[in-house]
Structure 1
Amino acid sequence: MLSTYVDNRDPSTEVDTYGEIVKIETAEQGAPGRVTEDRIRVLPNAVVVLDGVTSRTRPPDRNGGWYATKLADELARLINDTDPLTDLLAEAITNLVREHDLVPGDSPSATASIVRWTADRIDALVLCDTPVVAFGRTTHVLEDTRLEDLRPQPDILAWKNKPDGWWVAEAEPVAAHQARTASWPRSEIRKVIALTDGVSCGVSDYGLFSWEDLEEMPLGEVLDRIREAERGDPEHKRWPRFKTHDDQAIARITG
């Protein structure tokens, strides 16, 4: 199996997997003035997209980008064709907790999406607000809206990785088994996208695109149009949000 990943605004990669050509396109950029904490990892038969989240009390060298990188590395080592994605994510979190002495509630974290394919199946996992969308005869949206559903709560962090709350990859392996999952016959799916909330907001919050638009649009153009819209709303009046810009990452798989 051959996998080549080039970290550019809109690279295109071909992966020879199971005798078929799979085209993988990615685009990512940080919010203006900061280094992105989003991560995309392309594997021979999987793509991992993570959005790192920095803890309020974290050591200075352990931010969300650090955690997302470590989690991506561990998932790249563990992912296989058969084990449930929830089990693989739980094992990756367990290993990071053990190796780096991570403490629940006081560690960096990451939202996560995983897309894995075999000769006849596509599996997907979503934990927190990093959705996966599969395009076939119909559009299948796999998303985890529990964080957004709890936004009105005065202390949203008090509900992190708690029953009836919202879940994210951090230092609690049990969170992995709270992820949303789906599987589709490979023959029925043309393309799949996985994206962080800095890109999905263009559909779910801003209404700039439909999911179907993202099946075909140049990915760099998608990022640029979101940035342009955000610059036109610097006081967050049209689209209420916590920050003007977020990190952006999107991967599109065809084949």
Structure 2
Amino acid sequence: MTVDVEVEVAERPGVGVDGKPRPSEDVVSVLPNAVVLLDGATSLLPGLRSGGWYAGVLAGQLAGRLTGYPDMDLADLLAAAIRAVAREHDLTPGESPSSTVALLRWTDEVVEGLVLADSPVVADTAVGVRVLEDDRIANLRRSGPGYRRRLREGAGYGEEHVTALRSSATEVGRFRNTDDGFWVAEADPDAAYEARRASWPRGTVRRILLASDGVACGVDDYGIFPDWDAVFAIAADMGADAVLDAVRAAEESDPDGARWPRPKRHDDQALAVVAFR
């Protein structure tokens, strides 16, 4: 393989739902021919293993398969990795930790992307920016106001927020890995075949980024970046960490979540920028 590729990664932990620091639940793995970015879902249920633990274990399974089976279909590869984690750790669908998945793999001829849940892959190509995203969880219809209305009304973060967040998570959990809901990596390998896919001829691709929602929110929710072109520009001019800085500064300006209601003051942030020379 002769493709000349440079990968820059920026990561930063957020805080827990209690507002206290804790390790990031985002995981990024950079391989010779691929990048894996996972965002483990924060657990709100006592006794459940953390999403960060799950993301780390799944990343290991994915890395081994991406290296050992470079031509394997990405959905088949993801399904096998999910199945292996579930078997090894006795995980049960609907009662297990989960993670988003963003995969990027390349050869001299083609660049492939796969997205499951809300961690997008964005390509800067010869014909413009192309966004590979899975917006099913964002478009999920919720029956009640949830925690967002409390925050908009100025209630802020605290014990009552955690209670409202747990109630919202229980409601959303009913739609996890269902046809009328959304799909995420958990204990059901069939979820891999619900992922969104895209591919681009290698010669048309300049740069690609993979982002957890703690970064994508700067475009999708906060609007501090007018579009993904702006994210590419900042990353090119000042580095990937500058993108994270801008998102964190916006959150610091809204410490109680009244302007931008969100589960935590600061989510974990992970961004990988892949440049094809």
Tell me the TM-score normalised to structure 2 length: 0.82
Runs of 4+ off more than 6 Å:
none
Residue 33 of structure 2 contacts residue 106 of structure 2 at CA under 8 Å; is this kept in 1? yes
Structure 1 position 151, deviation (Å): 5.2
- CA offset digits 1:47-97 (Å, max 9, x no partner): 00000114444646x311111010000001111332221110000000011
Separation in 2 of the partners of 1:122 and 1:223? Answer: 25
Q: Which residue matches 1:12? A: none
The structure that is helix-richer by fraction is 2
Q: Which residue matches 2:2? A: 19
Question: Which of 120, 124, 138 is equivalent to 1:148?
Answer: 138
Q: Which residue matches 1:6? A: none
Taking a change above 3 Å as real, the CA distance of residues 133 and 153 of structure 1, as seen in their structure-2 partners, is farther
Q: Which residue matches 2:232? A: 215
1:213 partner amino acid: A
1:70 partner amino acid: V
The structure that is strand-richer by fraction is 1
Matches within 5 A, 1:46-195: 46-57=34-45, 59=47, 62-79=49-66, 80-136=69-125, 137-150=127-140, 152-154=142-144, 155-195=171-211
- 1:239 is aligned to 2:222: no
Separation in 2 of the partners of 1:164 and 1:123? Answer: 27
Separation in 2 of the partners of 1:145 and 1:242? Answer: 18
2:196 partner amino acid: R
Taking a change above 3 Å as real, the CA distance of residues 238 and 71 of structure 1, as seen in their structure-2 partners, is same
Decide which structure has the larger Cα Rg and report it: 2
1:231 partner amino acid: E
Residue 55 of structure 1 contacts residue 106 of structure 1 at CA under 8 Å; is this kept in 2? no
Residue 55 of structure 1 contacts residue 107 of structure 1 at CA under 8 Å; is this kept in 2? no
Structure 1 position 240, deviation (Å): 2.0
- CA offset digits 1:19-53 (Å, max 9, x no partner): 23211000001014121000000011000000011
Secondary structure at 1:133's aligned position in 2?
strand
Taking a change above 3 Å as real, the CA distance of residues 159 and 22 of structure 1, as seen in their structure-2 partners, is same
Pairs aligned (count): 237
Separation in 2 of the partners of 1:151 and 1:230? Answer: 26
Structure 1 position 115, deviation (Å): 0.3
1:97 partner amino acid: A
Residue 54 of structure 2 contacts residue 99 of structure 2 at CA under 8 Å; is this kept in 1? yes
Separation in 1 of the partners of 2:240 and 2:175? Answer: 34
Tell me the TM-score normalised to structure 1 length: 0.89
Question: Which of 207, 224, 228 is equivalent to 2:245?
Answer: 224
Residue 96 of structure 2 contacts residue 186 of structure 2 at CA under 8 Å; is this kept in 1? yes
Greater relative contact order (Cα 8 A, min sep 6): structure 1 or 2? 2
Q: Gapped runs of 5+ residues in structure 1?
A: 1-17
Structure 1 position 157, deviation (Å): 1.0
State the identity %: 48
Secondary structure at 2:271's aligned position in 1?
strand
| Root-mean-square deviation (Å) | 1.3
Q: Gapped runs of 5+ residues in structure 2?
A: 16-20, 145-170
Separation in 1 of the partners of 2:43 and 2:25? Answer: 12
Secondary structure at 2:93's aligned position in 1?
coil
